[in-house]
Structure 1
Amino acid sequence: MTINNHINHIAIIGAGPAGLSMARVLKKMGTPFTIYEKHHNTGGIWDMNNEGSPMYEAAHFISSKTLSGFPDFPMPAHYPDYPTRVQILAYIRAFAQHYDLERHIKFNTKVTQIEKTEQGWEVQTEYGGRQIHKAAICANGPLWQANIPAYQGHFSGTIRHASTFKKSTELLDKRVLVVGGGNSGIDIACETASYANEAYLSLRRGYYFIPKHIFGVPADVFAHGGPKLPTKLNQWILKKMLRVAVGDQTKFGLPKPDHELLESHPIMNSQILHHTSHGNLSVKPDINYFNGNQVHFNDGSVIEVDEVIFATGYDYAIPYAKKHFDWKDNRPKLYMNLFSPKHDNLFAIGFMETNSAAYEMFTEMAKLIGDFLNADPETARKFRQKAETEVLDLSGGLKFVASARHTGYVDSDTYRAFLKKLQKQMGWKPYKKGDYLTP
């Protein structure tokens, strides 16, 4: 079999937001690249028709259009504060077209394996294609491999993961239990409260539920506009404000959080209090065991339901390169959440959780990768030494909840501060507003 040599090209695997952000940076730098995309178009998970996409019809962005767009390519002014999945998909595709990225993409080309060679990385595709690239950047996204927990007993109804949920009408004439307190779980629970005969939500712990608007503006815009305060003071002030805006959430049947505000991924939802206070949605603790169509909970209570939807998150997966990374809690271990400490010129972008909108950070992170790829040998050597030996604490003093989801979680302000410090050490310029105004 002929192996094509694209040694001067960087391989980007995935044409979702992270991969496209990476492509725009490399294009600006004049660095050749090829994008491999297993689906027929750009957009990643936001195309609900892509097999395995966790998207559902009623999905919206959880951060606002004001702060969530790609740098220098804002979302359209006519978009609502929290755009729909259809609008986000259109926006991502408009981004790819505006920067002329589609001509660099091999669509319908699934990468099955990458292997280290003397020249770089050999990328193997589903139908036998092989190409050697200088570097490989994994950008296939973290939300494709569903995590379904195991419980004792047998449930006689339907059990499925939230990734299979597509239409709210699927819930009609059913008694439904949603399990999980992430943003998708809470959103689906609210849809269940509107459509199902009976709606229940099982939460392992209490969470802080942040309304999408504070004083009439999107919550993230409100928080972003305030002064930068010490972590403890910021937590205290925001907690007091949330208490004023929401009140005592335990009165609505929602458990008291077992952690401080900002120490878990923010849950942005304005409907949960409406549905719990109106009796449309009943909140239950963690499941103990199943018995037929009965669900027994840790507090001794029992309900009968027809369906259980596990909104219990995802295991990060890079199936074509799993052996090339070290893993913890199904998360790849990465320096700056980007660089493989094990292998030169192997990267992963988008495999992270943070308390900020992701698309802007993707550009800043992509630039760090691009600067490394274009660095002189001595600077690249110094950086690799850091990537292989330096252990970073990017928590910003926050004690994140001890869960797999928060493994590798970073505070965005802390990450950006260290990024600027790192760029200064290496002699690389940070991203500044306006760098990508022109294609």
Structure 2
Amino acid sequence: MRNITMVLAGRARSVVTPPDRRLFTGLDAAGFEQIRHAGFAVACGRVISVPMTSGNRIAIVGAGIAGLAYAKVLSREGFPIEVFDKAPDVGGVWSATRRYPGLRAQNTKRTYRYSDFPMPEDYPDVPDGAQMQAYLEGYVHHFGLGDSLRLGTEVVAADPVDSGWLLEIRDHTGIHRASCDHLVVANGVFSEPSIPDFRGDDLYQVGGGQLLHTSQFHDLESVRGKTVLVVGYGKSACDVAEAVSHVAASTRVVARRLMWKMPRKPGLGLDYERLSLTRLGEAHFRYHRLNRFERFLHGKGRSFRDSNFDVMRELATKKMLLRELDLVPSGRFEEIAQSTVGLTTEGFYEQVRDGRIIVHRDTTVTEMLSTKAGPAVDLSDGQRVQADVVLCATGFQQRVPFLTPYVQRRLTDEDGNFRLHRHILPVEVPNLSFAGYNSSVLSQLNAEVAAHWTAALLQGRLTLPTHEDMIAEVDERLRWMDAGTGGHHAHGTAITPFALHDIDELLRDLKYRLPLRTRLAQWVRPVKPASYRGLGAKSHAAPSGPATVEPQREPQRSRADLS
């Protein structure tokens, strides 16, 4: 090995370069010295040119659902790829290092999957966190992605040059240099925990209290017999509270604002997927560009739409005993799908009914304390409650910390919203794509179709709008998202409930279409990911009109196939 001094954005570092780093050793000593002497002042807005020794090399940062979809699609399209993830295993939010007790998939195994890799038949209807991670491991094995993975390896800096990117990576042996022609950011919109700054949190922890984000909480036994307070009322808050309530001395949930939630089976023969994963279900929510039926539904047919929401609100209220528990949200029921879909955690309301979970509605934490009786928390409703452990289900920050400030400023607007064409392509930064920044209830499928879109872009098979038109489209979409969600859309990265709209737009760009019978079925039946299985087979066609993605028969699989 040899030591090289590396100057990145004005920061001098000692870099150990191992003799063999597979794909990403594209800079020879002369090229690297060129960078060092130039000073590489990207942070000040100056980008220099660096020659690459080979083309089309792609680095993917993140080995979660989206990163793996991109790895499979791009490698099958012939691109040399390498996938970096600081975790020791694949999975992203499903990694053993991040998943919390009680974590389960939101959808069933029939819809929360890749198009060409069904979940095992012997999986339960709704897989848990460990099963999801095993499924993703099986995906890696089935498609031979293992040799492209660099797990336990963090990308700590990525600096743009005219011909691609320079990467600074860190693993157990030290810091190394790497380069690529195109960078795919798949670090996830749920990767950096957001914990509020509570007054007195330092004294609370000095006094023995534990303050954790739900993604940092992995062991139920650690809270056995303790008093636990969960901050939040979203899916992770209710998942964790329900799991904890079976072992903790007491479990409380502090909800600043109650949100509507949907039972998996609300009644009248309906189920969650039939309501939320169909074209008819999506049409009930106003997209920024309406088709003919949607114009009717939000115009002359609005009474039909509103009556459907009224029925669903009443079914949900009765199913979850919300009136009896004084947990009826004050907002409109259609707010159930604003960048996320509120799905009921099985057993949560039963635990509230039985007194094992206490919900403090319309309440916030005002101060954390260390008292003679032990760690405690003051609430805005005037109560002081003992809390040995506070678990924050308070969301995530959408940031890309390894990109330079100069690049980050060009990626986002003044509110931190990502300015991405089709949620993929930055309008101001070249040689860069984003994967998974179209988070939805069909995350695998949205990521997979986006990967095909990116492959077509890199191969020159995609016709983009003008730069001005892309900027106008991004501005229009962000204004619509702000208006429809009150600004709560994960900085432009969450597209629920419009997963199918997103897929349709990408397919139109690719000039592909599903068979008419499939599109018609999707109006009233939950989408089948396998319907999109043939997309890759059409990737190099150049038809005069739209190509049809024909469904293909898929094999039955069992849990043993994942090993």
Aligning the two structures, in what range does the TM-score lie when normalised by the shorter sequence?
0.7 to 0.9
- In the alignment, which residue of structure 1 is the partner of 2:238? 186
Please tell me whether the aligned partners of residues 339 and 387 of structure 1 are also in contact (alpha carbons under 8 angstroms): no
Match of 1:305 among 356, 363, 387: 387
* Per-residue deviation, 1:384: 5.0
- In the alignment, which residue of structure 2 is the partner of 1:237? 308
State the SS of the aligned residue for 1:45: helix
Once the two structures are overlaid, the 10-residue window that deviates more, 196-205 or 37-46, is 37-46
Match of 1:270 among 339, 346, 359: 346
- In the alignment, which residue of structure 2 is the partner of 1:374? 459
Please tell me whether the aligned partners of residues 481 and 487 of structure 2 are also in contact (alpha carbons under 8 angstroms): no
- Are positions 1:86 and 2:130 aligned together? yes
2: CA distance, partners of 1:119 / 1:298? 55
Q: Render the CA deviation track for 1:70-121: whole Å, top value 9, x for unaligned.
A: 1121211211111011211111111111112222223333212111112111
2: CA distance, partners of 1:289 / 1:256? 25
AA matched with 1:367: H
- In the alignment, which residue of structure 1 is the partner of 2:442? 357
Structure 1 gaps of 5+ residues are: none
Please tell me whether the aligned partners of residues 65 and 75 of structure 1 are also in contact (alpha carbons under 8 angstroms): yes
Once the two structures are overlaid, the 10-residue window that deviates more, 5-14 or 327-336, is 327-336
Q: Render the CA deviation track for 1:168-214: whole Å, top value 9, x for unaligned.
A: 22222211111011211111111232221111100010111222334
RMSD value, Cα: 3.1
AA matched with 2:459: N
AA matched with 1:319: P
Larger radius of gyration: 2
2: CA distance, partners of 1:398 / 1:76? 41
Q: Identity across aligned pairs (percent)?
A: 21
1: CA distance, partners of 2:113 / 2:175? 37
- In the alignment, which residue of structure 2 is the partner of 1:429? 512
* Per-residue deviation, 1:402: 3.6
AA matched with 1:28: R
2: CA distance, partners of 1:373 / 1:121? 15
TM-score for both structures, normalised by structure 2 = 0.69
Match of 2:188 among 141, 151, 154: 141
Please tell me whether the aligned partners of residues 205 and 255 of structure 1 are also in contact (alpha carbons under 8 angstroms): no
Please tell me whether the aligned partners of residues 64 and 83 of structure 1 are also in contact (alpha carbons under 8 angstroms): yes
* Per-residue deviation, 1:360: 0.9
AA matched with 2:501: A
Q: Render the CA deviation track for 1:276-323: whole Å, top value 9, x for unaligned.
A: 111111111222333434423222233232222111111123221153
1: CA distance, partners of 2:213 / 2:396? 10
Q: Render the CA deviation track for 1:324-346: whole Å, top value 9, x for unaligned.
A: 23346665432222111221121
- Are positions 1:74 and 2:124 aligned together? no
- Are positions 1:220 and 2:273 aligned together? yes
Please tell me whether the aligned partners of residues 253 and 282 of structure 1 are also in contact (alpha carbons under 8 angstroms): no
Once the two structures are overlaid, the 10-residue window that deviates more, 281-290 or 239-248, is 239-248
- In the alignment, which residue of structure 2 is the partner of 1:132? 179
* Per-residue deviation, 1:416: 4.1
TM-score for both structures, normalised by structure 1 = 0.87
Match of 2:477 among 382, 393, 409: 393
Match of 2:430 among 344, 349, 353: 344
CA change 1:11–1:174 in 2 (3 A) is same
2: CA distance, partners of 1:72 / 1:183? 28
Q: Render the CA deviation track for 1:9-34: whole Å, top value 9, x for unaligned.
A: 11111222111101222133233322
Please tell me whether the aligned partners of residues 139 and 348 of structure 1 are also in contact (alpha carbons under 8 angstroms): yes
- In the alignment, which residue of structure 2 is the partner of 1:64? 108
* Per-residue deviation, 1:368: 1.7
CA change 1:71–1:381 in 2 (3 A) is closer
2: CA distance, partners of 1:361 / 1:34? 21
AA matched with 1:186: C
- Are positions 1:286 and 2:361 aligned together? no
Please tell me whether the aligned partners of residues 143 and 316 of structure 1 are also in contact (alpha carbons under 8 angstroms): yes
1: CA distance, partners of 2:477 / 2:489? 17
Please tell me whether the aligned partners of residues 427 and 471 of structure 2 are also in contact (alpha carbons under 8 angstroms): yes
- Are positions 1:251 and 2:299 aligned together? no
Please tell me whether the aligned partners of residues 400 and 406 of structure 1 are also in contact (alpha carbons under 8 angstroms): no
CA change 1:14–1:406 in 2 (3 A) is closer
